[in-house]
């Protein structure tokens, strides 16, 4: 990305909020909703003005966003205001590591199954 492009993105995303969304990837046909083609089940848990607050919410599993094992992935997207905003270029991914009682969300790379999907919070 060029400096000019970075400056344009920075200006565009200045108005954004940090959305926290949890994801359950449906990787088998029989797990898809009503036989449809939706590859995930997701829930947007809320938004924050500051990135550090969104990260803290995920890492501390606020209000049990993991839901006792239902959502193994969580993400943070900075989405600007407006109708049909552009997909954010930098999504932070987290994956639950460990068991239900002693585990927690840890930062991870973007999973292969999530390629081509954007604006998770919506």
Q: Per-domain residue ranges for the chain?
A: 3-114
Q: What is the pLDDT at residue 28? A: 60
Stated as kind and residue range, the H or E segment containing 108 is strand 104-108
Is the pLDDT score of 32 beyond 70? no
**Nearest 5°: phi and psi at 77?**
-120, 135
- Which residue would you say has higher pLDDT here, 71 or 9? 71
Question: pLDDT-based confidence at 27, cuts 50/70/90?
Answer: low
pLDDT tens-digit map of 39-55: 568 899 999 999 999 99
The dihedral built from the CA positions of residue 83, 15, 57 and 26, taken in this order, carries a sign that is: positive
State pTM to two decimals: 0.81
Q: What is the 3-state secondary structure (H, E, C) of 12-30?
A: HHHHCEEEEEEEEECCCHH
């Amino acid at each position: 990305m060029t400096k000019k492009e970075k400056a344009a993105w920075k200006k565009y995303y200045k108005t954004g909020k940090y959305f926290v969304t949890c994801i359950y990837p449906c990787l088998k046909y029989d797990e898809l909703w009503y036989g449809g083609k939706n590859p995930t089940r997701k829930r947007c848990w809320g938004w924050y003005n500051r990135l550090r607050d969104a990260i803290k919410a995920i890492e501390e599993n606020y209000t049990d966003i993991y839901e006792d094992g239902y959502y193994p992935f969580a993400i943070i997207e900075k989405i600007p205001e407006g109708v049909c905003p552009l997909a954010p270029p930098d999504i932070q991914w987290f994956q639950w590591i460990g068991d239900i009682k002693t585990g927690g969300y840890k930062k991870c790379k973007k999973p292969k199954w999530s390629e081509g999907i954007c604006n998770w919070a919506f």
